[in-house]
Amino acid sequence: MPPVPVLTTLDTDRLLLRRQTVSDAAILRQLWTERDVRVPPHRQIDAEGRPSEADIATRIREEHTAPGLLAVERKDTADVIGYCGLVFNAEGAPDEPELAFELLRAVHNRGYATEASRAVITWAGQAGYRRLWASVWDWNVASRRVLEKLGFRDSGRVGPTTVHGRSLLTVRES
Ligand SMILES: CC(C)(COP(=O)(O)OP(=O)(O)OC[C@H]1O[C@@H](n2cnc3c(N)ncnc32)[C@H](O)[C@@H]1OP(=O)(O)O)[C@@H](O)C(=O)NCCC(=O)NCCS
């Protein structure tokens, strides 16, 4: 079998996408604190304040984070603003990864998620991943709009409806 291509670095007009490092832990924890209250509890900071920045640093150091989720850095200011990339073995089949992105609130609506995702999608196409998936909560209008701009369409598969909303599964074929 040919080796599985690994996503490590991508370059766009305004952004550099690179492997996460321990020094990204503070920003990644800030993302946890900024999550919508409708995001399920396992993706929220718990009553003990976990995961802490140290917990997140440990996950990165011990490579317990998804390797295809890259830190997104702005080129002009060299600050990390979130992550974007691919999660393998999520929805769909193992060779049909899931696109994921999350950015700090302070930088929303400047086209960064779309720009970063386009680079990831181009990489995926070149690496031979012809079908990508993305799951999104029905109430997440910003994310749904990004996915629409990127050419994802409703797969017709709907996840369970929970107190957190309805999870929609979208798909993109290249
Ligand atoms: C989803 C997310 C990554 C988008 O990042 P971003 O850099 O702001 O995205 P972009 O600027 O590329 O595009 C956002 C689009 O959503 C639209 N949008 C944002 N808020 C909106 C709202 N409340 N109602 C309707 N449209 C909205 C913007 O107008 C823009 O569309 P446009 O280019 O047609 O004007 C960001 O909102 C985020 O990190 N959210 C929290 C984490 C998350 O939801 N991750 C995805 C899980 S599936």
Distance (Å) from CA 100 to ligand 1 centroid: 13
pLDDT number for residue 147: 98
pLDDT number for residue 165: 87
146 lines ligand 1 (CB under 6 A): yes
Question: Domain for residue 159, yes or no?
Answer: yes
Question: Domain for residue 25, yes or no?
Answer: yes
Question: Domain for residue 4, yes or no?
Answer: no
pLDDT number for residue 2: 53
pLDDT number for residue 92: 57
Three-state SS string over the chain comes to CCCCCCCCEEECCCEEEECCCHHHHHHHHHHHHCCCCCCCHHHCCCCCCCCCHHHHHHHHHCCCCCCCEEEEEECCCCCEEEEEEEECCCCCCCCCCEEEEEECHHHCCCCHHHHHHHHHHHHHHHCCCCEEEEEEECCCHHHHHHHHHCCCEEEEEEEEEECCEEEEEEEEEC
pLDDT number for residue 69: 95
Question: Domain for residue 1, yes or no?
Answer: no
Whether residue 128 contacts residue 27, with contact meaning beta carbons closer than 8 Å, is answered with no
* Domain, as residue range, for 47: 9-173
102 lines ligand 1 (CB under 6 A): yes
Domain count, the chain: 1
Question: Domain for residue 91, yes or no?
Answer: yes
Question: Domain for residue 2, yes or no?
Answer: no
The residue ranges of the chain whose pLDDT is under 50 are 1
Pick the residue whose CA is nearest to atom 26 on ligand 1: 142
Q: What is the CATH number for 142?
A: 3.40.630.30
Question: Domain for residue 29, yes or no?
Answer: yes
Question: Domain for residue 113, yes or no?
Answer: yes
Q: What is the pTM of this model?
A: 0.95
